[in-house]
Amino acid sequence: MTAGQTDPVVRSPYGTVRGRYERGVAVFRGIPYAAPPFGPRRFRPPVPLPPWEGVRDAAAFGPTPPKPPYSDAFAHYLSDPVVAGDDCLNLNIWTPEPDPGARLPVLVWLHGGALTRGSSAVPVYDGHAFARDGVVCVSINYRLGVEGYGLFPDTPPNPGLRDQIAALTWVHEAIEAFGGDPGRITLFGQSAGAISIGALIAAPQTQGLVRRAVLQSGPPEASERAKVRRMVRRMASRLKIPATAEAFAAVDRELLLHTQAEVGKLSSPVVGGPAFGIVIDGDTVPRDPLEALTEGGAAVGVELMMGWTRDEYRLWLVPGGLLDRVERLGAVAFAGAMARCHCGSEVPRGYRALHPEAGTAEIVGQLVTDHLLRIPLHHLADARTEPSYVYEFAWPSNLPDLGSCHALELGFVFDTGDAPESRKLAGEGAPQELADAMHAAWVRFATDGDPGWERWDADHPVRVFGDRAPDAENGVAYTAYGPRDRELALWATDAADAADTAVRPEESTPAVRRLRRVGVLRRH
């Protein structure tokens, strides 16, 4: 804020708000987009908020949705601030020019956290750098855990996803007043946020609201209703109440969160226990989002950017010593991975043959990551006629054992590497030039749809960020990731052949070529 500059005031269709100038950027925090989801509205779809009278102060982050804290093991790496209050359906806006005539591109951020944790108040997600570079950045809060994704017989499913739809509708109708262009809205999100985006761009209610989308480390998917229902029933059993929304609404919030945390201890992506997730509901999610996007004609005209980190699994296994435990389990761990990925023993044998230097935990982790994340995203990129761009984040953390783990790229995308919360994952001395490259790619994609590398085609170009390999020319690698799950049988025999022979990565055999296609072997 320069000398004599007054606080920014914006008159939106929903009411007038007063923000603050911070380092030359207008910031508005804690703006409600729906009514508080408690009392008679608990576990129900969001209710629109009538326009308010007067000027609403928007200086501070609004309340965060109810959520259990991270365990001590995960809190060592991830920050998750709590802001008390009921008005938790709110959003934040960073804009370089809060004027209706600016018509700037818009990025809308959906945080991750397994649909049970996280919020827009995490310092890593500060939108200042995007606004500094000419993009209006919006971040939203939405209901989490059983409040947002519990499956009950007496209320519509997916209230958390419905919150996101309400927020996106609010942005589309109001963002012009803050300097944004409602015709250039890009959704971007990581992990559960990316999974949410897959459902959002496929939802009938959002068609025409989104121009582009970025899916970071999360594929479009729907959870099994029985799995989510099982989570609710286990909570109900512990609480000694019926598994209904009416009964859950009468339970104290803190007791509900404690029970959710206890029941959800086995919800790791690797273990695959009961967990909350988006379910097919015949309304907002009429069919599996991946099918809708690849076969059903959803999100016509929406351009995509998608990617993963090279060692996603390490954030799932390193905290609490699970990496060492999986390593010690050996054959038992392989058996669990085969069950999780619905494959036979020839598949991990193929991974082992092509990566003889890798330990059990690395093979299990990469196998599960391929199955859950890389293969579905590859299938999505292959199936779309609209431009798609694929990336891999490969810079390894300066902290022990984390490698290029899940969520590590966020401080680089937001250019918030100086924040202590970013250093919890990256350690000290993260390269600013990598943040410059990644952040600029996201800005370019939001601005005109071209992040700066080749779009996905039959050659499968993948932009690798932060690869320290000496043969990664100009940071660009060409990596092929594999077919959809139902085609695994087509390469399983070759994987078995590879397991029975001393296959070297540089050898060009049918087995190597097919395993390369499914991400077992990366070609740079």
Query: Which residues are tagged catalytic?
Result: 191, 312, 406
Calculate the alpha carbon distances from 38 to 43, 147, 251, 255, 504 in Å. Answer: 8, 10, 12, 16, 59
- Which of 304, 305, 324 minimizes the C-alpha distance to 314? 324
Residue 228 CB neighbour total at 10 angstroms:
23
Q: Give Cβ neighbours of residue 519 (< 8 Å, ≥ 6 apart).
A: 366, 370, 374, 375, 378, 479, 480, 481, 482
Give the Cα separation of 152 and 253 in Å (integer). Answer: 17
Calculate the alpha carbon distances from 100 to 95, 157, 362 in Å. Answer: 11, 36, 51
Give the Cα separation of 423 and 26 in Å (integer). Answer: 26
Contact predicate 503/357, CB 8 Å: no
**In the structure encoding, which two tokens stand for residue 279, read together?**
């379910």
The DSSP secondary structure of 146-162, one letter per residue, reads HHHH---TTS-S-HHHH
Q: Scanning the structure block, which residue is given the tokens 């932060």?
A: 466
Give the Cα separation of 232 and 234 in Å (integer). Answer: 5
- Amino acid 73 reads A
Q: Scanning the structure block, which residue is given the tokens 């008679």?
A: 40
Give the Cα separation of 497 and 363 in Å (integer). Answer: 18
Give the Cα separation of 232 and 279 in Å (integer). Answer: 14
Calculate the alpha carbon distances from 514 to 79, 309, 310, 496, 508 in Å. Answer: 40, 22, 20, 12, 10
Strand order in the sheet with 461-465: 20-22, 25-32, 90-95, 136-140, 104-110, 180-190, 212-216, 303-309, 388-393, 461-465, 476-478
Give the Cα separation of 293 and 73 in Å (integer). Answer: 37
**DSSP letter (8 states) at residue 361:** H
Strand order in the sheet with 55-57: 9-12, 15-18, 55-57
Please, what is the end-to-end C-alpha distance for the chain in angstroms?
A: 46
Q: How many residues does the structure list for the chain?
A: 524
Residue 398 CB neighbour total at 10 angstroms:
14
Please report which helix (H) or strand (E) contains residue 132, including its range: helix 128-132
